[in-house]
Amino acid sequence: MTIRVLLADDQTLLRATFRILIDSCEDMEVVAEAADGHEAIAAAREHHPDVVLMDIRMPGTDGLAATATICGDETLAATHVLILTTFEIDEYVTQALHLGASGFLGKDVGADELLTAIRTIAGGDALLSPAATRALIARFLAAPEPTATARANPAVLTTLTAREREVMVLVAEGYSNHDIARRLVISPLTARTHVHRAMAKLNARDRAQLVVIAYQSGLLQTTPSN
């Protein structure tokens, strides 16, 4: 199945570069482009892409506002937002995850990593760069934030089995299905099944949302960085 991508960035040259790269792949295509958040929202509702490659800093409606609208639109439940940012601006990444983004990537990313990220987000199988994101997510999602969504009630976890909670903790720590399988001595398919059951029970659109719920519900405790 072809992965349908929407490009949202105010830099025309960057959009053109991404389009050439993405359209060169047999398994994906660019279905629309947007120069700001307002255009991104309209294009998402018109084309229902699998992945929105979203810049944060855009004129008018920025990428965070657009992400909130797209992820909050029930008709776009199958659309995943991949944020383009710089890792120095941690608070933007945090807000994006709270608003429903499925992952983030630095603008200096290589071509192969970008394409892998799009495929990853489209499949909802893993957070991007677990080693790089683990400390970042732990540091910020556990901290109070005025723009964040309400903290999840620990009671929401009562629907999960003990194994599903165990798997959810590992997901929140940044482990892939294969990593989880090795740690729990189960098959990758079984690990994937546990992840998807947890997502279904908690109404999480992807693994990124499982991470948010894990921290907000207190399932995974963190120690703030100094």
pLDDT beyond 60 at 18 = yes
Determine the Cα angle at 211 with ends 40 and 206, to 5°. Answer: 50
Q: What is the CATH number of domain 3-123?
A: 3.40.50.2300
pLDDT by residue (tens digit) across 181-214? 999 999 999 999 999 999 999 988 878 788 878 8
Which pTM does this prediction carry? Answer: 0.71
pLDDT for 60 equals 92
pLDDT beyond 60 at 30 = yes
CB atoms within 10 A of CB 108: 8
- CATH class for the domain made up of 154-216: mainly alpha
pLDDT for 133 equals 53
pLDDT by residue (tens digit) across 33-73? 999 999 999 999 999 999 999 998 899 999 999 999 999 99
User: How much is the mean pLDDT over the chain?
Assistant: 84
pLDDT beyond 60 at 121 = yes
Where do the domains of the chain lie? 3-123, 154-216
